[in-house]
């Protein structure tokens, strides 16, 4: 052993004696070897986030020989399209039903407390824009809480394009320490451990949750690992927890419909416009050009020198006699306000005609391209002969929006199933509750989950009810199904409703029928006359005295 090796060994032993540990530092989350998704995927997501926040590069131009910058007058197409799809896919009229009354009651209470149906639509908009998202339920103060994450804080641990069973979720908190901004990032790993076989031959896969806290002075860096109790928000949080007898992950993952053509092995979904940034840029350029025409198209005139009062100094600098007197430094083209000939012929109107029709045609062209690319019906954003179309008119004229919505609904339904399974498993873990008693003890494997998406935007409900009535009359649709479809009843309520209807329509005994249905009013007089005559005939005459024999 060399002298250097001996020194290294001595320092190593000394470090072990004083409890020294290897300091873990990360520049980015993807530097962690447990995360298999390439860093380029999050560069793509970061670009989509900039467009979604309308943080676009500034426009550069030259005025008076000087380079200047201005904010582009853009249309946030990504925000508009994502919001439109999210509202068509999921809204407050939707509901989630399970075939277990006890679990249904807990779900309804949880979703009400967490404002789930409104929050889901809001977060779905971001997930569609960025491509992916996640929900993680957890227990706090004996209540189920929900944590929402978008694609910027969701890191699948394994590159499996079909399912995401292991994941890392991040949460960043900004603090001020010593008059400087400090950033803490909590990373929560959800992993399945190798199978464990019990003595009785049964087996299970342990589920491990690991919490790691990182600190950095740079917003874009994760930094070095620190204890979890470094900030009050994470005091009491366990560094590692292993759960047994779970069959489903304790999170719900969402990805957009369609293949990820940027990375074939990535489980992350593509953002709505990731393949169509050129079209989005074209729309923004046309809109910015039109807005700039409006700005620079206001009236300007040239006037003789004698009509204006000359400014001899600007900011303490002497202006030569032969230089222009006034100009607008925000204009890209220099506009004179005086002329060499000091006569009335120097007065000229410099106003330009704004090219409204040309810009409108160009805008419609690119918007039509955008509608086709993202799968929305023609007229969703473009003008029509009758003006801007409503969502119902769009679907009536073209079913493309409905087909696109159906594809997204498939992914949303998968996520909702995962969410209900995760909540159901948390309810069965005694250690998570203050009294160490589970809140639900049903069989998850036999649970039936039925999300009900409101299709009122796409379907004329009066027409649907009429068609369903025809189907019931023809004997091809059960009455219970008709009640469920058209009145929003559960199967149990629909069956009770149908029994009440049948009991009301059942034939009654004759005496009850007479009492329930009296004779019509118009026959009352005739009946009274008949009754009078019958009464007269029934009344016996008084006994006449019999003749006596004299």
Question: Where do the structural domains in the chain lie, given as residue ranges?
Answer: 26-274+407-432, 277-378
pLDDT band at 353 (very low <50, low <70, confident <90, very high): confident
pLDDT band at 289 (very low <50, low <70, confident <90, very high): very high
Range with the poorest average pLDDT among 86-90, 471-475, 506-510: 506-510
Q: Residue 472, SS3?
A: helix
Question: What pLDDT score was predicted for residue 4?
Answer: 40
pLDDT tens for 120-157 read: 999 999 999 999 999 999 999 999 999 999 999 999 99
Entry field: residues in the chain: 550
State yes or no: pLDDT of 14 exceeds 50.
no
pLDDT band at 169 (very low <50, low <70, confident <90, very high): very high
Of the candidates 449, 420, 103, 78, the one whose C-alpha atom is nearest the C-alpha of residue 272 is 78
pLDDT tens for 25-64 read: 889 999 999 998 999 999 999 999 999 999 999 998 887 6
State yes or no: pLDDT of 195 exceeds 80.
yes
Choice between 147 and 462, residue whose per-residue pLDDT is larger: 147
State yes or no: pLDDT of 20 exceeds 50.
no
Segment holding 151, helix H or strand E: none
Considering the chain, what percentage of its residues have pLDDT values greater than 70?
73
Angle at 481 between CA 479 and CA 401, to 5 degrees: 135
Q: How many angstroms separate the CA atoms of 215 and 224, rounded?
A: 5
What are residue 145's phi and psi, to 5 degrees?
-115, 160
pLDDT band at 468 (very low <50, low <70, confident <90, very high): confident
pLDDT band at 17 (very low <50, low <70, confident <90, very high): very low
What are residue 243's phi and psi, to 5 degrees?
-110, 150
State yes or no: pLDDT of 411 exceeds 90.
yes
Q: How many angstroms separate the CA atoms of 507 and 498, rounded?
A: 16
pLDDT band at 3 (very low <50, low <70, confident <90, very high): very low
Q: What is the DSSP string of 77-145?
A: HHHHHHHHHHHHH--TT-EEEES-HHHHHHHHHHHHHTTHHHHHHHHHHHHHHHSEEEEEEEEETTEEE
Of the candidates 189, 199, 210, 193, the one whose C-alpha atom is nearest the C-alpha of residue 244 is 193
CA 198 to chain centre: 43
Looking only at the bridges linking them, the beta strands covering 132-140 and 180-192 are unpaired
pLDDT band at 256 (very low <50, low <70, confident <90, very high): very high
- In the DSSP assignment, the letter for residue 93 is T
Q: Supply 483's token pair.
A: 């009640």
- Cβ count within 10 A of residue 127: 30
Question: What pLDDT score was predicted for residue 274?
Answer: 96
Q: Report how far apart the first and last C-alpha atoms of the chain are (Å, whole number).
A: 171
Q: How many angstroms separate the CA atoms of 533 and 329, rounded?
A: 112
State yes or no: pLDDT of 265 exceeds 70.
yes
Q: How many angstroms separate the CA atoms of 234 and 140, rounded?
A: 13
Range with the poorest average pLDDT among 194-208, 346-360, 420-434: 346-360
Question: What pLDDT score was predicted for residue 528?
Answer: 52
pLDDT band at 333 (very low <50, low <70, confident <90, very high): very low
* Mean pLDDT within 309-336: 60
Which whole-number Å values give the CA distances from 75 to 232, 285, 319, in the listed order?
42, 9, 42
Q: Residue 210, SS3?
A: strand
Question: What pLDDT score was predicted for residue 121?
Answer: 94
Of the candidates 138, 189, 147, 193, the one whose C-alpha atom is nearest the C-alpha of residue 168 is 189
Q: What rounded mean pLDDT belongs to the chain? A: 81
* Mean pLDDT within 395-412: 79
Question: What pLDDT score was predicted for residue 466?
Answer: 80
State yes or no: pLDDT of 349 exceeds 50.
yes
In this structure, are residues 79 and 381 in contact, taking their beta carbons and an 8 Å threshold?
A: no
CA dihedral 102, 107, 112, 115 (to 10 degrees): 180
State yes or no: pLDDT of 511 exceeds 70.
no
What are residue 117's phi and psi, to 5 degrees?
-70, -35
State yes or no: pLDDT of 213 exceeds 60.
yes
> Sign of torsion, CA 209 215 220 222?
negative
Range with the poorest average pLDDT among 177-181, 249-253, 417-421: 177-181
């Amino acid at each position: 052993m060399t002298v250097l090796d001996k020194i290294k060994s001595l320092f190593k032993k000394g470090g072990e004696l004083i409890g020294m540990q290897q300091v873990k530092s990360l520049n980015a989350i993807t530097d962690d070897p447990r995360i298999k998704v390439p860093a380029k995927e999050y560069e793509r997501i970061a670009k989509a986030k900039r467009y979604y926040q309308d943080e676009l590069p500034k426009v550069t131009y030259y005025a008076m020989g000087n380079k200047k910058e201005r904010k582009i007058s853009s249309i946030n197409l990504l925000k508009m399209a994502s919001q439109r799809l999210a509202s068509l896919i999921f809204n407050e009229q939707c509901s989630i039903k399970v075939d277990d009354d006890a679990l249904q009651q807990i779900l309804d209470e949880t979703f009400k407390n967490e404002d789930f149906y409104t929050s889901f639509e809001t977060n779905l908009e971001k997930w569609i824009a960025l491509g992916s998202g996640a929900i993680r339920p957890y227990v706090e103060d004996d209540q189920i809480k929900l944590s929402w994450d978008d694609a910027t804080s969701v890191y699948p641990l394994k590159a499996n394009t079909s399912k995401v069973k292991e994941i890392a979720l991040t949460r960043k908190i900004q603090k001020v320490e010593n008059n400087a901004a400090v950033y803490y990032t909590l990373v929560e790993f959800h992993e399945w451990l190798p199978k464990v076989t019990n003595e009785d031959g049964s087996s299970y896969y342990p589920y491990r949750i690991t919490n790691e806290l990182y600190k950095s002075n740079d917003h874009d860096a994760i930094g070095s690992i620190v204890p979890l109790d470094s900030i009050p928000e994470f005091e009491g949080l366990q560094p590692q927890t292993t759960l047994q007898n779970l069959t489903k992950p304790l999170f719900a993952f969402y990805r957009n419909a369609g293949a990820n053509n940027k990375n074939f092995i990535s489980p992350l979904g593509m953002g709505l416009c990731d393949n169509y940034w050129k079209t989005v840029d074209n729309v923004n350029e046309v809109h910015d050009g039109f807005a700039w025409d409006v700005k620079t198209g206001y009236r300007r005139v040239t006037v003789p020198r004698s009509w204006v009062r000359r400014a001899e100094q600007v900011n303490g600098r002497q202006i030569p006699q032969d230089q222009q007197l006034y100009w607008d430094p925000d204009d890209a083209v220099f506009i004179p306000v005086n002329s060499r000939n000091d006569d009335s012929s120097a007065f000229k109107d410099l106003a330009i005609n704004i090219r409204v029709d040309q810009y409108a045609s160009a805008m419609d062209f690119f918007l039509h391209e955008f509608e086709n690319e993202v799968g929305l019906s023609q007229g969703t954003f473009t003008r029509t002969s009758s003006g801007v179309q409503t969502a119902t008119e769009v679907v009536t004229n073209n079913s493309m929006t409905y087909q696109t919505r159906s594809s997204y609904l498939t992914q949303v339904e998968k996520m909702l199933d995962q969410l209900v399974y995760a909540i159901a498993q948390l309810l069965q873990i005694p250690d998570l509750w203050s009294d160490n008693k589970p809140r639900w003890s049903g069989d998850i494997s036999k649970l039936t989950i039925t999300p009900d998406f409101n299709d009122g935007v796409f379907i004329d409900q009066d027409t649907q009810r009429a068609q369903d009535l025809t189907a019931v009359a023809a004997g091809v649709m059960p009455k219970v199904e008709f009640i469920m479809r058209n009145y929003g009843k559960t199967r149990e309520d629909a069956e009770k409703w149908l029994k009440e209807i049948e009991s009301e329509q059942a034939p009654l005994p004759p005496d009850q029928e007479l009492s329930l249905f009296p004779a019509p009013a118009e026959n009352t007089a005739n009946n009274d006359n008949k009754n009078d005559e019958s009464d007269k005939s029934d009344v016996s005459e008084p006994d006449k005295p019999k003749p006596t024999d004299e």
